[in-house]
Amino acid sequence: ESMPEATRTGAVAIFVLGFIMVLRFSDKVTDKGLLRLDAFLDASAGMEYSFEVLIIALIAGTFMAATGCIGYVGVQSGRRTTMCLYFSLTTLLALVLLSLGSFAIVMQHQVGPRMLQEAEWICHPKQFMLLAMKLDCPFKGKERIPLSWVEAECDDFCLNETERVRALGACDLLDVLCRAFAYEEVGGGMCLVDGGNGTEVES
């Protein structure tokens, strides 16, 4: 009696986890900001399949929920073939989740720091202002930045970066990476006064 009950409980748990995964990832695949970040990740870190892995995670969640249903039906009906199918699917599911977990570890320890470093560079107050002005992006304090300063400070490297950011989403990418930053005139330059989302930036 304990074995079928444990199997039934496991099947319900698998279904619930799968359902949560579907809810968690279903809105992400159409998120515009995430698409911009995926393009940025592909270009900056050479991670060509990051968004595809998100799709796989969504499919795995659906597959997991279906597997849980099969397991529950198998326990309730007592059919051996259904139970064999359930245990085979759970084995396959474990391999898929293990692969996704391995990819997540690579992202966290190898790609993540590199992407963060580049994002911090783009969102540095001076660099952000130059890119936002060259791309004509709206942001707080924009009207107080003289165009003459932008033209003087934006060298060839700055122009190349502007085109790169433009190709990766332009203002949308800047908004996703840097959020709402505000700048005010302090002395002879511009100072970051609002980092957005509680971000603290050294002046």
What pLDDT was estimated at residue 103? 77
Which of 51-55, 72-76, 87-91 has the least mean pLDDT?
51-55
Q: Do residues 13 and 107 share a domain?
A: yes
Q: Do residues 172 and 79 share a domain?
A: no
Number of domains the chain is built from: 2
Give the confidence band of 29 by pLDDT, cuts at 50, 70, 90. low
Q: Do residues 7 and 107 share a domain?
A: yes
Is 70 exceeded by the pLDDT of residue 192?
A: no
Give the confidence band of 2 by pLDDT, cuts at 50, 70, 90. low
Q: Do residues 109 and 29 share a domain?
A: yes
Q: Do residues 55 and 146 share a domain?
A: no
What pLDDT was estimated at residue 3? 66
Q: Do residues 38 and 102 share a domain?
A: yes
User: What's the Cα-to-Cα distance from 6 to each of 24, 63, 66, 70, 128, rounded to whole Å?
Assistant: 27, 21, 18, 15, 56
User: DSSP state, 31?
Assistant: -
For residue range 32-67, what is the model confidence (pLDDT) as tens digits? Answer: 656 666 666 666 555 555 667 778 888 888 999 999
What pLDDT was estimated at residue 190? 46
Is 50 exceeded by the pLDDT of residue 199?
A: no
Instruction: State percent of the chain over pLDDT 70.
Output: 70
**Which residues, including other chains, have CB under 8 Å from residue 178's CB and lie 6 or more apart?**
119, 122, 123, 128, 196
Q: Do residues 173 and 83 share a domain?
A: no
Q: Do residues 149 and 71 share a domain?
A: no
Q: Are 161 and 154 in contact (CB under 8 A)?
A: no
Q: Do residues 171 and 106 share a domain?
A: no
Is 202 within the bounds of a domain?
A: no
Q: Are 145 and 181 in contact (CB under 8 A)?
A: no
Which of 79-93, 111-125, 157-171 has the least mean pLDDT?
111-125
Closest of 125, 134, 129 to residue 160, by C-alpha: 134
Is 118 within the bounds of a domain?
A: no
Q: Do residues 97 and 7 share a domain?
A: yes
What pLDDT was estimated at residue 183? 46
Is 63 within the bounds of a domain?
A: yes
DSSP 105-121: HHIIIIIHHHHHHHHHH
- Which of 88, 113, 138 marks a domain boundary? 113
What pLDDT was estimated at residue 117? 75
Q: Do residues 109 and 187 share a domain?
A: no
| Domain hosting residue 106, numbered range | 2-113
Is 132 within the bounds of a domain?
A: yes
